[in-house]
Amino acid sequence: MNPWDGKLRVIIFQAAVVLAFVAVAAKLWDLQIVSAEQYQQSADRNQYRLLPIAAPRGVLYDRTGRMLVKNVPSFTVSIVPAALPEDMDERGAMFERLSDLLDIPAYEPADEEPAEWDALSIETILRLRTINPYQPVRIATEVDRQAAFIIEEEHLSLPGVKVDVEPLREYAYGSLLGHLLGYVRAIPEHLIDVYLEDKSLGYAMDDQVGLAGIEQSMEDLLRGVKGQKHIQVDALEREVLVVAEEPATEGYSLMLTLDVDLQEKVTEALRKGMEGAKSEVGVVIIMDPRTGEVLSMVSLPGYDNNLFSGAIEPEVLEALYSDPLNPLFNHGVSGLYSPGSTFKVVPAVAALEAGAITVNTRVSCGGVMYLGNKYFPNDPKYAQPFYCWRRGGHGSLNVVGALMHSCNIFFNQIAGGFGDLQGLGMERLAEAAIAFGFGAESGIDLPGEAAGLVPSDRWKRITFGESWLTGDTYNAAIGQGFWQVTPLQLVNSVAAIANWGTLYRPQLVYQVIDHEGRVVDALQPDVIRPLPFSHGNLDLVREGMRLVGTPQGTAYLLDVPGVNVAGKTGTAEFARLDDDGNLMLDAKGNLPTHAWFTAFAPYEDPEIAMVVFLDNGGEGSRTAVPVASDILRYYFGIAEPEPTPTP
């Protein structure tokens, strides 16, 4: 054997050992020096989490300090996706166990699409809501206490599953305030991008947000500011140590302008009036005309907003959505109707202000008037009749008497002209209506407010391809035709007459209170605009409205002894199809009517303005006025009248 071969082998072996040590040293250098920070971060990611802390939502009170909604503890179950078993059989078994405990499907049926976000399966929720695999995804809320305890006990076989205690909204008065307070739910799927778009707002995919009423409109104040905590977790993603914590800031609480006692009485009186009139939809709104504060707002039928706190049965949700009376719809701010004769105050004050009439202007009402055809002005065969509600006529009336008796012929003529009376004209009538707030949102602290419609010649040409006619003005003057107004707009216009000419924005928030009980903001009357009408002309309209409530006026059933009440009745025809698709008509072949009554009191120094509306309620003087009487008696502390003894 050549001795150099042995030496060469030793040298090669030594070189290999040296190279191996160099490689190990290089790797150690890379691990401990070059890539140390990277690997440390990776290790930290495996055991440390930065989690948000939900902010307690602010509570709501009525104007007397009674709590309307509060936060109650509730169990929620979340899953950290990164901790789920990689083996799909193990994962499936875990989902099935959670499905049994939480009563939600583990997987979506292959041949079905989920109709509601709340009905999604565990697998689908994780797939849709997971953004960061280490971020917990909420899969169930309002979890049964026993189920939560079982999940905690079985945590070793349920890796990544967390049970937390989170606040749940509880509404003390349910359906009494459902439309006004609204409810809180998880962000709907179709709105997730909207909420997550602005990162500074701090919304997460499974956050709870206000989706109706005050809960929605005051979301920015109520939601608070999230905190965060830095925690260490074990292999099952369970918290073992809090490294650092920044507490959440509780949302602002709100004291509302509402009076719960008044709301209860209004609801009782409205329901009674609806039953008597066989009306299925009704509205009452009461405001303070001095400030714009909404003291009560009732829209029937309503809904219990507690149904939306936590889990809701799919069949319950389906029943609400499919109900033809639409109990989720607030008719007070979103319903659009013809105002009928309650609107007559607008042409009255507008004609006075424009000089089209004076207090001495008189119109003779014989129960019917005929408008000649412009192509055949002298041929009575082509003349169009316009009737007063009182077919025998009212005789000679000035503006005060016309309001008192609600004479159609008077307002037809002062608005559209007749004979030697030129009339106000539709353009100026529309301008007056806009000044009163019709045709625009008022800006109340509620979502879903409708703007309504103030018709015009241009609008009619665009919509129907027809020009505006004098007959259209006649109809518009008595609140019929194309008008679309909300009950809120109507009561706000009456409030402006009550306070001699200031149109306020209706408001529901009286005070904003921080978590230490300090008032950080308070209601200030918010003037939309002063009305362009003199006090003298408004006084004439107010006097006519005062006489409405006398035994000789159209609100002859008004019974509020000791209080001067000014008001205006209204009966508005409407067209609606029955279940068979035929036009609804009464026994005499007439269109059905909505019943209206607007009022303010006391006449001398008004404290409240109100509107009563009964859908398909008949004559306002017969059905809406008694509702107002019951409410006004309660408000002013007047005892109920003794029942008439049965003979």
Domain of residue 493, CATH code: 3.40.710.10
> Tell me, what's the pLDDT at 640?
82
Among residues 17, 596, 38, which one has the least CA distance to residue 343? 596
Q: Band of the pLDDT at 336, cuts 50, 70, 90?
A: very high
Q: State yes or no: pLDDT of 132 exceeds 80.
A: no
How does strand 509-513 pair with strand 519-522?
A: antiparallel
Cα→Cα distances 288→296, 443, 605, Å = 10, 16, 11
Cα→Cα distances 480→283, 339, 385, Å = 19, 7, 15
In a domain, 574, yes or no: yes
Q: What is the mean pLDDT of residues 335-349?
A: 97
Q: Clarify whether residues 248 and 282 are in a common domain.
A: no
Residues 521/255, Cβ–Cβ less than 8 Å: no
pTM here? 0.86
Q: Band of the pLDDT at 312, cuts 50, 70, 90?
A: confident
Candidate from 1-5, 54-58, 150-154, 241-245 with smallest mean pLDDT: 1-5
Q: What is the mean pLDDT of residues 171-197?
A: 91
Whole-number Å distance between alpha carbons of 138 and 434: 49
Q: Clarify whether residues 248 and 172 are in a common domain.
A: yes
CB atoms within 10 A of CB 9: 10
Boundary residue ending a domain (256, 290, 315): 256
> Tell me, what's the pLDDT at 115?
47
Q: Clarify whether residues 192 and 283 are in a common domain.
A: no
Tokens encoding 559: 């019974």
Q: Band of the pLDDT at 366, cuts 50, 70, 90?
A: very high
> Tell me, what's the pLDDT at 138?
85
Half-sphere exposure of 610 (CA within 13 A, CB side): 32
Q: Band of the pLDDT at 133, cuts 50, 70, 90?
A: confident
User: Higher pLDDT residue, 497 or 143?
Assistant: 497
Whole-number Å distance between alpha carbons of 413 and 372: 13
pLDDT > 90 fraction of the chain, expressed in percent and rounded: 59
In a domain, 229, yes or no: yes
Boundary residue ending a domain (231, 256, 281): 256
In a domain, 539, yes or no: yes
Whole-number Å distance between alpha carbons of 78 and 95: 12
Estimate the crossing angle of helix 408-416 against helix 426-435, to 10 degrees.
110
In a domain, 111, yes or no: yes
> Tell me, what's the pLDDT at 51?
66
Whole-number Å distance between alpha carbons of 164 and 167: 10
User: Higher pLDDT residue, 589 or 483?
Assistant: 483
How does strand 282-287 pair with strand 239-246?
A: unpaired
Whole-number Å distance between alpha carbons of 388 and 200: 61
Eight-class DSSP state of 559: -
Q: Would you call 242 helix, strand, or coil by DSSP?
A: strand
CATH number, domain of 156, equals 3.90.1310.10
> Tell me, what's the pLDDT at 182?
96
> Tell me, what's the pLDDT at 499?
97
Q: Band of the pLDDT at 634, cuts 50, 70, 90?
A: very high
Q: Would you call 518 helix, strand, or coil by DSSP?
A: coil
Boundary residue ending a domain (227, 256, 285): 256
pLDDT > 70 fraction of the chain, expressed in percent and rounded: 87
Candidate from 61-70, 91-100, 327-336, 518-527 with smallest mean pLDDT: 91-100
> Tell me, what's the pLDDT at 165?
82
User: Higher pLDDT residue, 415 or 148?
Assistant: 415
How does strand 253-256 pair with strand 60-61?
A: parallel
Per residue in 425-438, pLDDT (tens digit) is: 999 999 999 999 99
Domain of residue 501, residue span: 268-305+333-342+429-635
Tokens encoding 507: 């408001």
Q: State yes or no: pLDDT of 645 exceeds 70.
A: no
Q: Band of the pLDDT at 130, cuts 50, 70, 90?
A: confident
> Tell me, what's the pLDDT at 243?
67
Tokens encoding 267: 């609801």
> Tell me, what's the pLDDT at 246?
74
Residues 108/123, Cβ–Cβ less than 8 Å: yes
Q: Band of the pLDDT at 74, cuts 50, 70, 90?
A: confident
User: Higher pLDDT residue, 613 or 586?
Assistant: 613
> Tell me, what's the pLDDT at 229?
67
Q: State yes or no: pLDDT of 39 exceeds 60.
A: no
Q: Clarify whether residues 275 and 221 are in a common domain.
A: no
Residue type, 323: D
Candidate from 223-227, 462-466, 474-478 with smallest mean pLDDT: 223-227
> Tell me, what's the pLDDT at 646?
55
Q: What is the mean pLDDT of residues 487-501?
A: 98
Q: Clarify whether residues 206 and 283 are in a common domain.
A: no
Residue type, 484: Q
> Tell me, what's the pLDDT at 236?
58
Whole-number Å distance between alpha carbons of 55 and 91: 32
Whole-number Å distance between alpha carbons of 242 and 219: 30
> Tell me, what's the pLDDT at 34?
58
Residues 263/298, Cβ–Cβ less than 8 Å: yes
Q: Clarify whether residues 157 and 196 are in a common domain.
A: yes
Q: What is the mean pLDDT of residues 31-60?
A: 67
Q: Clarify whether residues 295 and 156 are in a common domain.
A: no
Q: State yes or no: pLDDT of 245 exceeds 80.
A: no
In a domain, 166, yes or no: yes
Among residues 283, 70, 288, 68, which one has the least CA distance to residue 178? 68
In a domain, 17, yes or no: no
Q: Clarify whether residues 126 and 275 are in a common domain.
A: no
> Tell me, what's the pLDDT at 155?
81
311 by Cβ neighbours in 10 Å (0-12 / 13-18 / 19+) ranks as middle
Q: Clarify whether residues 433 and 511 are in a common domain.
A: yes
Q: Band of the pLDDT at 201, cuts 50, 70, 90?
A: confident
Query: What are the residues whose beta carbons fall under 8 Å from the beta carbon of 392, sequence distance 6 or more?
Result: 367
In a domain, 400, yes or no: no
Q: State yes or no: pLDDT of 19 exceeds 90.
A: no
Q: Clarify whether residues 250 and 144 are in a common domain.
A: yes
Backbone angles phi, psi at 59, to 5 degrees: -100, 170
Tokens encoding 426: 């539709």
In a domain, 102, yes or no: yes
Q: Clarify whether residues 338 and 223 are in a common domain.
A: no
Q: State yes or no: pLDDT of 595 exceeds 50.
A: yes
Q: State yes or no: pLDDT of 455 exceeds 60.
A: yes
Q: Which helix H or strand E contains 489, and what residues bound it?
A: helix 487-498
Q: Clarify whether residues 247 and 276 are in a common domain.
A: no
> Tell me, what's the pLDDT at 117?
44
Q: State yes or no: pLDDT of 474 exceeds 50.
A: yes
Candidate from 78-82, 592-596, 625-629, 639-643 with smallest mean pLDDT: 639-643
DSSP string, 387-456: E-SSTT--EEE-HHHHHHHT-HHHHHHHHH-BTTB----HHHHHHHHHHTTTTS----SSTT----B---
Question: Taking CA 641 as the corner, what is the angle to CA 636 and CA 642, rounded to the nearest 5 degrees?
Answer: 150
When divided into structural domains, the chain yields a total of 2
Mean pLDDT over the full length of the chain: 88
